[in-house]
Structure 1
């Protein structure tokens, strides 16, 4: 068996070995160790076997993550496309082995000793994961993976004609932010023409995904996919009903604030009407931009993380020396940004698509928040605890964006104040949209027989509730409810989106705390990162010393703090 983890002091990502897992050998190893686990006569014996099982899981997950990174860097690479197809087929089989491990843990006569060693969260994870798999859904899970990959490839393969050139979705964005209104309108129309041209494919993929997921849920004994979706995300301490209440708080306290910000924006831009293609263009003088190319941005980040703390200096030095970031946009590259963790090599990895906008700094600090967290918790001793649940993960990322504020002059020079105003405004703008995406999924999965047209109508109705400023002019695709089709999470990771909204309310509290007492705020943040996934979401919030987003009055209080700060800024000077 290969060594569980490898020293990466001098090893770079391109030197990381990829080897397709041998599923026959893996199955044999699991069966042998499961039998030994059941026959063990003491906690110490079971603990030792548990670690051996974990080594196999680490190797499989590491190979998957290396494949995923290399496939998304170039979706046209035939070798890694084939390997991605392999994992689409085999991940459900691997899930079956994890389910069996969970069954063994839950039945262990030494459960009390395991809980004393690792805490209750291990068994919460085991119980929730056990519910989400049975052998009879294996083929359905493979189909779900295949359909999700189809959607990713459609977006990655975009070649959009604009002004005599071809652009992918990431490269087109700077033109959508042009100071020339006609340019940003035509760039936006070109992008949405791409989505409109693929709407039949995308709606068919999603229709199949909804029906496949609903079928999986019913086979597993769930009334519909919603509860299964929550269990897949290991949400152990809040319910869909609580999320409904949280979304209503967003509608009540954040939507009016966002509407006032859009009114200020319309006034700054001196426009009679604010159309959809105007929304991302914040200032008549142009949005703030980084003052240099991607390599220069990384140099500034190195400076920032060296000054921020010893921990962040060590972390970012590793990220650079081991080539653990692929940041520049290029053809064939998957859209978006993410952070993952290659446990065998004890390294995070950051993927992005820089395009010369302020979003380059947003995504770098955001993904560095994820990467710093898993770097901080990599010695926690248990794979299940390297990451927390998604909504807790997003606290790390969104809060890091705010902890980086004192260094924004490095990236934006004299536009640093403009950037901060836009960054905070953008965070407010996002909350209603994130809530709409979440409510859309709840409605869709509660009504799996809806037609594509009915789903689009649901989205249109939700825009009126959460995004009342949205004006699509004469764009028929968007007026008919097509906007949601751009959101990859809906296709690949259902119900993973309200997590950003919950986490943003937590991150806003760090924003305020950092201004008042940086030392204690940072100490709390590092403590939270080191805890990894050893606790549930609300337990981690409590550990950090911040208020739960579900707590009565929390959203209202946060909204007031942000509103006060934004109102204190004379945005006309930007």
Structure 2
């Protein structure tokens, strides 16, 4: 299979809606288990195929947002997806009402039924037009970020390409590069403000039409947070604020000392060492080959997976003009294959992609036995466990990528994961504040971001950048615009991934890999807390759940002579 040659076909909306409706009627009319199962298999295959066409269009659009054909297809899917989701609700009603549940459970795992109940609450015909509008607004954000052409030091860069310069070892260079980067957001601040204001009001209207108090309340339903509630999240948030934030401040003080600074300015935060951050050694091709060797040494299944990714052209890794920002892994049911998208820019983040996004992709590769394509990935927070854990599992192979800089990479990566926890909580907390106060002005939203930023990230000193001090940092966080409330998931997964870090790198637990693979194969057939039980891991929502891991992390960081790095 060669992904570049995979055919994309726009589905016929009328035919799809008609076939789904017929499937719902046939399931309701089924007179025995075999008939019900036959309908379920047929409709599942239909949905998998149509969803796959949407994924192929989205992938090719993000690879080059300037491609007129796929820009047109992106607009089509923005309109069609809400219609398709609404059409599926009648079929889901038939599934949930069917007397042949035992037969249906042979094709649909438990989370499928839980998701079905959630979808029936969030996908209804009366909000299709609003969902279409929300999709179009998200695409405008994607295109705005992708359009950025920033002039710096005589050259023109995309935002991703500025990454290495923003973390340059030369303080004057990184200060200027950061000023240029944030200058783009400051120059387009009114546009970002208006775009987000439209999003907030559109999403609020959706929630209220569906009977929710606000979009914040609705988020626990559309994000399929099956195993936990707001009170459990409040406990978790408190644990991070009281235990992780002080530990991060301790590490930031050590960082300032390493850099020979009295205190860190905002443009210093990404630089860990005076000699510069660890950078991967080799070209993009060489890094991919190193990853191939790593996965073959990791396990036979991992090696076969990465061979498939390379040989089938399922990787698009380099940053280039017109390409959407960020990185992601997708699973395409029609070809039973994952796809990895990223923006290599010569930093250690390139290697993180080959572990993080490959962790996602490997999980779906192992779980492709699950028939409904939307259950191959588990729920969002569970899915991130596999990507973030793979970053830590890969530690023994880092010399392949960093050579003599390996110690610098491991130290910085372990610290960065710790620093991420408060930031991830901040992004989620901010969104809950925004959507419970939907009539806030843009200025009030920015003020609230800065208030929360001082609570969770008190080390951020923006005294040299008035725009950042006013609270615009969140404008660079695509999730806030494109995937609302998809962020605390990363932090929940990070806490769990740290447990795997300890098992692999501190305890050298011989059962750790088996647990990781068993969880990955289970994928979306289990809920979050069920997966944690499968992997013999502790729930992050328990009071004190972080304590042992934080002690181990602190000891590991303190054991390193960081000044020597």
Which of 200, 204, 210 is 1:220 aligned to? 210
Q: Distance in 2 between matches of 1:141 and 1:121?
A: 24
Is the contact made by 1:174 and 1:356 (CA closer than 8 Å) also made in structure 2? yes
Residue 525 of structure 2 aligns to a residue in which SS? coil
Deviation at 1:382? 2.9
User: 2:545 matched to 1:554?
Assistant: yes
User: 2:449 matched to 1:463?
Assistant: no
Deviation at 1:109? 1.7
Residue 286 of structure 1 aligns to a residue in which SS? coil
Which of 268, 273, 278 is 2:268 aligned to? 278
Q: Distance in 2 between matches of 1:379 and 1:108?
A: 24
**TM-score when scaled to structure 2?**
0.98
Q: Distance in 2 between matches of 1:185 and 1:359?
A: 20
Q: Distance in 1 between matches of 2:126 and 2:285?
A: 49
**1:524-553 CA distance string (max 9 Å, x none):** 000000001011111111111100000121
Q: Distance in 2 between matches of 1:148 and 1:490?
A: 10
Partner of 1:7: none
Q: Distance in 2 between matches of 1:32 and 1:112?
A: 22
Deviation at 1:118? 4.2
Partner of 2:536: 545
Partner of 2:559: 568
| Greater mean deviation of Cα atoms: 388-397 or 221-230 | 221-230
Deviation at 1:383? 2.5
Is the contact made by 2:166 and 2:178 (CA closer than 8 Å) also made in structure 1? yes
Partner of 2:389: 399
Residue 491 of structure 2 aligns to a residue in which SS? helix
User: 2:351 matched to 1:361?
Assistant: yes
Identify unmatched segments of 5+ residues in structure 1: 1-10
Matches for 1:237-316 after TM superposition, within 5 Å:
237-316=227-306
Deviation at 1:240? 2.0
Partner of 2:72: 82
Is the contact made by 1:340 and 1:348 (CA closer than 8 Å) also made in structure 2? yes
Identify unmatched segments of 5+ residues in structure 2: none
Deviation at 1:121? 2.2
Q: Distance in 1 between matches of 2:283 and 2:448?
A: 41
Q: Distance in 2 between matches of 1:28 and 1:146?
A: 25
Is the contact made by 2:236 and 2:543 (CA closer than 8 Å) also made in structure 1? no
Residue 353 of structure 1 aligns to a residue in which SS? strand
Partner of 1:517: 508
Is the contact made by 1:121 and 1:534 (CA closer than 8 Å) also made in structure 2? yes
**1:3-30 CA distance string (max 9 Å, x none):** xxxxxxxx21111000111112112212
Partner of 2:39: 49
Which of 380, 387, 396 is 1:390 aligned to? 380
Which of 86, 101, 114 is 1:124 aligned to? 114
Matches for 1:413-492 after TM superposition, within 5 Å:
413-492=403-482
Partner of 2:63: 73
Deviation at 1:343? 0.9
Change (3 A) 1:116 1:310: closer
Q: Distance in 1 between matches of 2:92 and 2:26?
A: 15
Partner of 1:6: none
Deviation at 1:98? 2.0
**1:73-112 CA distance string (max 9 Å, x none):** 0000000000000000000011012222211111112235
Residue 277 of structure 2 aligns to a residue in which SS? coil
Q: Distance in 2 between matches of 1:88 and 1:33?
A: 24
Deviation at 1:177? 1.1
